[in-house]
Amino acid sequence: MDFEEIEILIIKYFSQSATMADLDALNQWIEKPENQSIFEEYVKTHYAITLAMGDPDIKSVKKALFEEIKKEKKKVRKIRLYSVMKYAAIAILFLGIGFLMQKNFFNENSNKQKLVLNENEITLKLGDGNTKIIAADGTSKVYDANGKVVGKQNGKELVYTSNGEGSELVYNTLSVPNGKRFNITLSDGTIVHLNAGSSITFPIAFLKNKIRKVFLSGEAFFEVAHDKKNAFVVNASKLDVKVYGTKFNVSNYQEDNSTDVVLVEGSVSMAESAETINRKNEFFLTPGFKGTFNKENKKISNEKVNTSLYTSWMTGNLVFRDESFDNISKKLERRYNVIIINNNKNLSKETFNATIETDHESIEQVFNYFKKVYQIDYQIVENKIIIH
């Protein structure tokens, strides 16, 4: 997409005439670091022109902005976000506010309560049952039972290099707590990006002429090394995802009612774990589709999606489209390693559109925004956020 097309999208964005497809295309463009500063200048100029109108008093500008936000919020709630025009309008507010939050625009009278965060550690359980702590910014080595180096850590990545000469599988388990992300390269060259609150169990070396199988709890994005002879299988509880070489995201958190597989590139099949051998029951996905495995009735369905919405967490973003506050809360809990207690039952099913840059915005900033715009009343007690 050339810059002329991007300019048209930005104009539609600010004029509140962007469609959902326009917004998703613009969001993908903004995700690239080199484009963020360009977009920030557009946002800054837009608000300066439309709100300041020659008035240099920042308090007046803020007051005008909040009045517009409140006005727009009431309209959006009335029609429950089903109108494409209002979908665009509310997205303008969220993305615009995201920029202003980064610039501390709302900090003047912000909530002074501070969270006490839990500092859980990334751990690696070895084949002999011992567990070692992995410092996110450290370096270390992983040894097998014979004292041979099979893996090395460099910062937020762990790389296994064993060439698979062994005769039996020896497993390690990497666990990433809430509030952190971590990458691992398996011995075959497959790269796995682990999201917060996730763990993966994998062989320190895959055996020759055998299926490459790993076990996932939580969420991960896989870039599978191509191998025609040896298929790669991700076991997500009761679901097996089978591939030969591809890029896809698997979300399999224990509390979720379903397991989602979003295919970015290549081809994968989905099947209930006990049925993997029976090729007739495999459900194949094509790029751009999300497959959903219902954990209760064991049925698999699929739908066309914007894959970037499901993979944005790797770049530090949480993107929500018509998402309930309950679901948003779960993802915020995992990403920020906090506990959210919602005593406002009417809020639970309210739906929102938002893009949160979690690497740059604190949970206090996120909830201060919710308080300012949606009058959500909350308090902070240690690492808990209690909504009244």
Residues 60-90: tens digit of each pLDDT: 544 554 554 444 444 433 333 333 333 333 4
With a CB cutoff of 8 Å and minimum separation 6, the contacts of 195 are 176, 181, 218, 219, 220, 221, 313, 314, 334
Which residue would you say has higher pLDDT here, 297 or 114?
Answer: 297
Q: Across residues 313-319, what is the average pLDDT? A: 92
Domains contained in the chain, CATH given: 3-102 (no CATH), 122-308 (2.60.120.1440), 317-387 (3.55.50.30)
Say which residues have a Cβ less than 8 Å from residue 212's Cβ, sequence separation at least 6.
186, 188, 190, 203, 206, 227, 230, 231, 232, 233
| 281 secondary structure, DSSP code | G
DSSP 8-state code for residue 50: I
Lowest mean pLDDT among 148-152, 201-205, 211-215: 148-152
pLDDT per residue as tens digits for the range 38-60: 776 666 555 554 444 444 454 55
Q: What proportion of the chain, given as a percentage, has pLDDT over 90? A: 43
pTM of the model: 0.71
DSSP 14-38: HTT---HHHHHHHHHHHHSHHHHHH
Exposed (0-12), middle (13-18) or buried (19+): which is 107, by Cβ within 10 Å? exposed
Residue 240 has pLDDT above 60, yes or no: yes
How far apart (Å, rounded) are the C-alpha atoms in residues 355 and 96? 10
Cα(41)–Cα(260) distance, integer angstroms: 37
Indicate whether 189 pLDDT > 80. yes
The mean per-residue pLDDT over the stretch 131-157 comes to: 88
Confidence category of residue 201, pLDDT binned at 50, 70, 90: very high
Percent of the chain predicted with pLDDT > 70: 74
Banded pLDDT at 349 (limits 50, 70, 90): confident
